[in-house]
Every structure is written in C-alpha cells, then in structure tokens.
Amino acid sequence: MWELSERDLPALSIGASLLGTGGGGNPYLGSLRVRELLRAGHRVRVMEPEALSDDDLLAVAGGMGSPVVSFEKIVQGEEEANAVRALEVLAARSVTAIAPFEMGGGNSMAALCVGAQLDVPVVNGDGMGRAFPELQMITYLIYGGRPFPSAIADEKGNHLVFQDGVDAQWLERIARAVTIEMGGHSGLATSLMNGAHCKASIIPGTLGLAYDIGRTVLAARTDKSDPVDAILDATGGRRVLRGKVVDVERTMTKGFARGRIALEGSGDDEGRQVQVDFQNENLVVWEEGAAVATVPDLVTLVTTDRGEPITTEVVRYGYRADVLVLPCPAKLRTERALEVVGPRAFGFDLDYQPAFS
C-alpha cells in the first residue's frame, strides 16, 4: 500500500499531463485539491489491483465537463464523492475502493480526492491509460462492465442517479446534457463493479507510471541530463522526431478543438517533416503521407529542453518539441477496444497502426 504525500504531487502532475496526450485538462487545480486534503489530515492510500478481493465493491469516479468551466467555477470539492455516495445508497453498500476514471490530465487527481474523502484506497490503475473524450471509452465498460447505475452530482446539492439505460453511449449523451445544465462541470460515478471485474478490466499500474514518469523528468532536470530520454526509459516509448513546430491549423467543430500540428526536424532529423492530427488529444502522426502512429498509442509532444508536456491548446509556431509515441496498454489493442477507441472511432478512415511490435 502506497500512502501518498504532498511531495509526490509535482511528479504525479507531470506524469499525468504527459499521459494526457495533449488533452485531458491541466492537473494543477486537482493537485492543489489533493494537497489541501492531505494538509487537513486526510489520507490518500493507493493499492495494487491484485490486492483486491473478488467481492470488493468499487465505483469509478471522476469529473466530467468543460475544462474552461473547471478553471473558472472551481469545484466545491465533494462532487465526485457525492456521486459515489449516491450509488452507495442505491446499492445499500459502501464501496471498499475507488477505481480511477482516466489517468491522463486533471482526472488523475479526482480519484485521489474521492479516496481521501471516503477514506478508502484508490486502485493503482485506470480505465484509459491516457486521456479520451468520452465516457464509453473506459476499459471497465468496454470489457463488459455495467454503465448503470451511474450518478452525477453538482456543487449545489443536485444528485442524479441513472438507474437503468440502454448502453454507455446513451449514458454519455444524457450525462453530458445534465452536466451542461448543472453549469458545465459535474462529478461522476459509474461502472459499479466487484473486485473480480475490476482486476479483469482495469489498466494496471498507471498511477505508479505517472509518478515514475514525473520523478525521472524532475531528476533529469536537476542532473541536467536529457529529460526526454528519461521519459522514454520510464515508458518504453520512442521518439518520432526532434524539431520545431512550424505551423498549427485549428478548427472548431461541435465544441471540439480539431487541428493539425506541422513539425520540421532538426539536428539528426533535419530534412524530415511530420504532421500530428489532434482533436483535443493527439491522434495520428503522419510522415510523407503515411500514418506512423495512431490512437490508441499515446502520441505526445514535449518541450525538447525540459520534457514539459505541450497541450494542443497552447501549441504554436516556434516550440522546440519532441514528438513521442508511447505504447498503449494491451487492453486498448484488442479488436473489441479498437472499435471504441481506434482511429475509426475518431473519424479517421484508417486502421490502427501499432507503433511497437
């Protein structure tokens, strides 16, 4: 059992940002929330999935909605925990652990807050291993978990329970509409499951991975060694290109920021050009008309000098960046998962191109 301390938060933030693949929202406010909970005497305990017993009861908890809203109308603090509590009332049972929703970006911190507030451990793992935009894209649901009952809570005291429904896509649509009505951001609890299902469907170890990535980057910055090499060592990833951003095209469609980043190689990569297509998260890397990496593998841009993740919101001409591709977890590579999170699910007429054999 790993008991988190305040000192672990900067590393966790960097790692979560990196796993956010250009999207996922900024973990800064979330890490402040965890810090305040720790300072108030709460504990954040992290357990390994293997330590779950088959009849443990877990809920998946996180935040849903607009990142812009979450930076302005900061949460009251118990929205996610209240959503879990609503499910507990319905199940007439308390959860014994929390399964994180999404390790990429801001939601990395939400599960830790819930664990602290309900005083139950958080499992080392999550449902994506990165960031994705929609609810049905979590492995707990892809691999047979139940989207119902689910619960949503806001800061005012509105707690909705979705008792039953058709499927995860329906849950996503209705939950998003309710979230907008609540003011653009809500706490969500879903995929109530037993320990057996969690062990079978969770992507294991991702909290620890986020922490390790951040720790090696911070160490490399202090030692003045290459932070990008540190990231690649920690993740088994590889560099596609080291160079400079020379163009960013952006369009808005249906509330999603889509676009294409163009980079020119420098040094050993001089003369090469790559493009990265994104839709909040980075999705496909192209070179000379061929896709060299695609979702669900993790495509991420970091600054060459400090290994700082570059989100699609801020990227612009002039950034000295390394384009990295990290292997996606095995559970995202199955035929079943690819239907939900492969390139076609994002509108590309393209099959998944594994970047690693």
Partner 1 sequence: MRIGIDVGGTNTDAVLLGQAGVLAKAKTSTTEDVTSGIVTALTDVLEQSGAAAADVTAVMIGTTHFTNAVVQRRDLASVAAIRLGLPATECLPPAVDWPDDLREASGVRPYLVRGGLEFDGREIAPLDLDELDRIAGELRAHDIHSAAITSVFSPIDARMERAAAVHLVERVPSLDITLSHEIGRVGLLERENAAILNASLRDLARRTIAGFLEAVRGLELGAAVYLTQNDGTLMTAEHVERFPVLTFSSGPTNSMRGAGYLSGLSDALVADIGGTTTDVGALTQGFPREASLAVEVGGVRTNFRMPDVLSVALGGGTVVHLDDDARIGPDSVGFRLQQRARVFGGDVLTATDVIAAAGKTNLGDRRLVSDLDARLVADLERRMQEIVDEALDRVRLSTEPLPVIVVGGGRLLVTRAVRGASRMVVPEHSEVANAIGAAIAQVSGQIDRVVSLANTTREAAIAEARADAESQAVKAGADPSTVQLLDAEDVPLAYLPGNASRVHVKVVGDLAAGHRI
Chain residues that interact with partner 1, rule: CB under 8 A: 29, 32-33, 36, 65-69, 71-77, 155-157, 180, 183-184, 246, 252, 255-257, 280, 313-314, 316-318, 320
Nearer to partner 1, 167 or 305 (CB): 305
Minimum distance of partner 1 from residue 122's CB (angstroms):
18
* Residue (133 or 208) nearer to partner 1, CB: 133
Nearest approach in angstroms of CB 241 to partner 1 is 18
Distance of CA 140 to the CA centre of its chain: 14
Provide, rounded to whole angstroms, the least separation between the CB of residue 155 and partner 1.
Answer: 4
Residue 122 bridge partners (DSSP): 46, 98
Phi, psi of 317 (to 5 degrees): -50, 135
Q: Residue 106 or residue 329: which is nearer to partner 1 going by CB?
A: 106
Query: Residue ranges of the alpha helices (H) in 121-205?
Result: 139-142, 168-181, 195-201
Nearest residue (CB) to partner 1, 92 versus 314:
314
Supply angle C-alpha 19, 24, 30, rounded to 5. 95
Write out the two tokens for 85: 């509590």
Three-state SS at 195:
helix
Which one, 25 or 121, has the nearer CB to partner 1? 25
Alpha helices in 202-257 (DSSP H): 206-223, 227-235
Backbone angles phi, psi at 290, to 5 degrees: -110, 145
Q: At 248, list the tokens.
A: 């960013």
Cβ 312 to partner 1, closest distance in Å?
9
Based on CB atoms, which residue is closest to partner 1, 306 or 316? 316
SS3 at position 193: strand
Which tokens in the block code for residue 280? 């909040």
Instruction: Give the nearest distance from C-beta 287 to partner 1 in angstroms.
Output: 20
d(Cα 142, Cα 138) in Å, to the nearest integer? 6
Minimum distance, C-beta of residue 180 to partner 1, in the bound complex (Å): 5
